[in-house]
Amino acid sequence: MQTRVIQLDRERPDSSAIVEAADVLRRGGLVAFATETVYGLGAIATEPRAVRRIFEAKGRPSFNPLIVHVDGMDRARECSLGWDELASELATRFWPGPLSLILPRSRRIPDEVTAGRPTVAVRMPATPVALALIGQLGAPLAAPSANRSNRISPTRAEHVLADLDHRVDLILDTGPTSLGLESTVLDLTTVPPRILRPGPLMAPEIEAAIRGLRLAEGPSRQGHEGTFPDATAPAASPGMLPVHYAPTTPAYRIGPGDDPHGIVWPDRSALLIVGELAGVRWPREVPRIVLAEPTVAARELYATLHDLDARGLQAIFVAMPPLGLEWAAIRDRLHRATRPLVEQLPLDVEE
Ligand code: TXA
Ligand code: MG
């Protein structure tokens, strides 16, 4: 399969390209497009054959369900059962935006999308290109992040092409995404609702938006080191496997409890400092990248990891961010992308 890339204006995507992309999807093809979080790999959610192609293209395990992208509350209602007052309030407040809601699924959504589960994740993305595409189709789009399974999520069209060339029919390139981390996944099928995947939207913001709403306490909102990888999420959200979003270069995390002086730095290493690990004297000869501020770090994290991964390094070291809630989603992703420093045995890094 040839993969085509069409460059489009991010604010006003050319409508003839949208028509073309919708045709590709109607014929059962796959189209990658930008959301405000990461690029998604889309297929029509109501077409089981097309949805199966997503799993093949990504090498994704069939037990991991997909998020269904809609262009408004009406379409979300068609995909789910029991769309209630709370769902309406959340959608009114946060859609379009980085919030995926888990609800019981309707008959329109096939097993292929939900991995046989009785629930479905729905979200309304914020980019004009995604909304135009769904509107043109008049159908919801199933779309996971447009990367091979267990690889780093794509925040630019180049990342999609590097990972999925010949596996996706069309890539709509509207440039870098604005938020850079995948949506917050909120399970509305439990009382109280629970965040299954931390993301750009945090628990206090969600609670503050709805009077009287208290979310279930989960490791993802406590935000302290010892609770990662997430102890409760895997059962509820099968995508939250401990190793995920990982570069192919061995990557090691340096947490507050680690002694950076014990590190064996191979000749070709790089250091990524996320937040600021105060008081540490890092070796001067090791190239370093600093992402000091949470919003910028979220936006740049995956592109930075993609770049580091392409440098042919022996090891990437990541100085972990501090413990504040504003770093929780980034900490979660970094925990999945790296191994603990204690695993850095000389055997691992010598060639
Ligand atoms: O920001 C995003 O959410 C991006 C863009 C493309 O929208 N999409 C994304 O999709 O990150 P994906 O497939 O990489 O991650 C979807 C997550 C997985 O952790 C999956 O297990 C969870 O959502 N999920 C989907 N449906 C679910 C369900 N019915 N119950 C529980 N978890 C579900
Ligand atoms: Mg993903």
Of residues 27 and 246, more confidence is placed in 27
Residue 241 is assigned to a structural domain of this protein: no
What pLDDT does residue 278 have?
A: 74
Taking only the tens place, the pLDDT of each residue in 179-196 is 999 999 999 999 999 999
| Confidence label for 238 from pLDDT (cuts 50, 70 and 90) | low
| Confidence label for 219 from pLDDT (cuts 50, 70 and 90) | low
Average pLDDT of the segment spanning 62-86: 97
**pLDDT of 224 over the 70 cut:** no
Residue 213: which CATH number?
Answer: 3.90.870.10
Residue 316 is assigned to a structural domain of this protein: yes
Q: Which of 95, 133, 182, 241 for mutating ligand 1's site (highest number of atoms within 8 Å of CB)?
A: 182
Let me know: does 286 contact 266? Beta carbons within 8 Å.
Answer: no
Q: Are residues 67 and 119 in the same domain?
A: yes
- For the CA of 115, the closest atom of ligand 1 is 29
What pLDDT does residue 344 have?
A: 79
Ligand minimally distant from the alpha carbon of residue 245: 2
Q: How many C-beta atoms surround the C-beta of residue 292 within 10 A?
A: 11
Q: How far is the CA of 144 from the centre of ligand 2 (A)?
A: 6
Q: Are residues 82 and 207 in the same domain?
A: yes
Q: In whole angstroms, what is the distance from residue 60 CA to residue 284 CA?
A: 40
Q: How far is the CA of 188 from the centre of ligand 2 (A)?
A: 21
Q: How far is the CA of 101 from the centre of ligand 1 (A)?
A: 10
Which of 180, 201, 222 finishes a domain?
222
Distances (CA, A) of 212 to 55, 86, 98, 194, 196: 39, 11, 22, 15, 20
What pLDDT does residue 243 have?
A: 54
Average pLDDT of the segment spanning 199-225: 80
Q: Are residues 296 and 202 in the same domain?
A: no
Q: Are residues 261 and 179 in the same domain?
A: no
Q: Are residues 154 and 213 in the same domain?
A: yes
Residue 11 is assigned to a structural domain of this protein: yes
Q: Are residues 294 and 174 in the same domain?
A: no
Residue 134 is assigned to a structural domain of this protein: yes
Q: In whole angstroms, what is the distance from residue 308 CA to residue 229 CA?
A: 23
Q: Are residues 30 and 108 in the same domain?
A: yes
Closest protein CA for atom 29 of ligand 1: 120
Residue 243 is assigned to a structural domain of this protein: no
Cβ–ligand 1 distance for 40 under 6 Å, the answer: yes
What pLDDT does residue 350 have?
A: 47
Taking only the tens place, the pLDDT of each residue in 102-157 is 999 999 999 999 999 999 999 999 999 999 999 999 999 999 999 999 999 999 99
| Confidence label for 34 from pLDDT (cuts 50, 70 and 90) | very high
Taking only the tens place, the pLDDT of each residue in 328-344 is 999 999 999 999 998 87
In the chain, beta strands by DSSP E: 4-7, 31-34, 39-44, 67-69, 99-104, 119-123, 141-142, 170-173, 184-187, 194-197, 251-254, 269-274, 288-291, 315-319, 339-340
**Full domain range(s) for residue 332:** 251-349
Q: How far is the CA of 347 from the centre of ligand 2 (A)?
A: 30
Q: Is the dihedral of CA 336, 341, 343, 344 positive or negative?
A: positive
| Confidence label for 225 from pLDDT (cuts 50, 70 and 90) | very low
Q: Are residues 98 and 31 in the same domain?
A: yes
Cβ–ligand 1 distance for 148 under 6 Å, the answer: no
Residue 39 is assigned to a structural domain of this protein: yes
What pLDDT does residue 59 have?
A: 97
Whole-model pTM?
Answer: 0.93
Q: Tokens 């939900």 belong to which residue?
A: 114
| Confidence label for 246 from pLDDT (cuts 50, 70 and 90) | confident
Which of 222, 243, 262 finishes a domain?
222
Let me know: does 272 contact 280? Beta carbons within 8 Å.
Answer: no
Cβ–ligand 1 distance for 155 under 6 Å, the answer: no
Residue 239 is assigned to a structural domain of this protein: no
Q: Tokens 């909102």 belong to which residue?
A: 221
Q: Are residues 193 and 255 in the same domain?
A: no
Taking only the tens place, the pLDDT of each residue in 248-278 is 999 999 998 888 888 999 999 999 999 987 7
Cite the DSSP H helix spans in 59-182. Answer: 73-79, 85-94, 111-114, 128-137, 157-164
Residue 240 is assigned to a structural domain of this protein: no
Q: Which of 123, 190, 237, 240 for mutating ligand 1's site (highest number of atoms within 8 Å of CB)?
A: 237
**Cβ neighbours of residue 283 closer than 8 Å, sequence gap 6 or more:** 265
Distances (CA, A) of 16 to 20, 63, 175: 6, 36, 19
Q: Which residues of 244-258 are buried (b: 16+ CB within 10 A; e: fewer)?
A: bbbbebbbbbbbeeb
Q: What's the total number of domains in the chain?
A: 2
Mean of per-residue pLDDT scores for the chain: 91
Q: Are residues 171 and 85 in the same domain?
A: yes
| Confidence label for 240 from pLDDT (cuts 50, 70 and 90) | low
What pLDDT does residue 317 have?
A: 97
What pLDDT does residue 349 have?
A: 47
Q: Are residues 216 and 255 in the same domain?
A: no
Taking only the tens place, the pLDDT of each residue in 171-181 is 999 999 999 99
Q: Are residues 202 and 274 in the same domain?
A: no
